[in-house]
């Protein structure tokens, strides 16, 4: 697992959203698995260079598998939901 996933996991735990983008072999798969195991959201993009997303799908129970064109709107929606949930917790 690379430094990016380690630091995100350490700092934010279940608030992390991990996305497997394009790439070869299994780069990023361990990091995505860690994000998911700590309660974060795992997203895999459907891409033309598919060996990395395929590796992630084989090992990680992802929350979403989306085309590139839908990734941004999914992130905006999930982040807005997380902000609302956090705000509701603070007001209780």
CATH code (residue 57): 3.40.50.180
Question: What pLDDT was estimated at residue 7?
Answer: 81
Its pTM stands at 0.65
40: containing domain: 3-91
Q: What burial class does residue 73 get, using C-beta atoms within 10 Å of its C-beta: 0-12 exposed, 13-18 middle, 19+ buried?
A: exposed
Residue 23 has a pLDDT of 62
Residue 71 belongs to what H/E stretch? helix 68-91
pLDDT tens per residue, range 20-75: 776 666 656 777 888 888 899 888 877 655 677 777 888 888 899 888 889 899 99
- Spatial CA neighbour of 58 closest among 29, 31, 21, 23: 29
Beta-strand ranges (E) seen in the chain are 17-20, 41-46, 64-67
Q: What is the tally of structural domains in the chain?
A: 1
């Amino acid at each position: 697992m690379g430094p990016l996933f380690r630091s995100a996991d350490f700092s934010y735990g279940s608030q992390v959203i991990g996305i497997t983008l394009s790439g070869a072999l299994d780069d990023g798969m361990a990091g995505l698995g860690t994000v998911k195991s700590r309660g974060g959201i795992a997203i895999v993009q459907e891409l033309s260079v598919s060996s990395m997303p395929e590796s992630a799908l084989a090992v990680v129970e992802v929350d979403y598998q989306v085309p590139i064109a839908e990734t941004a709107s999914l992130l905006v929606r999930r982040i807005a939901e997380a902000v609302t949930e956090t705000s509701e917790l603070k007001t209780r």
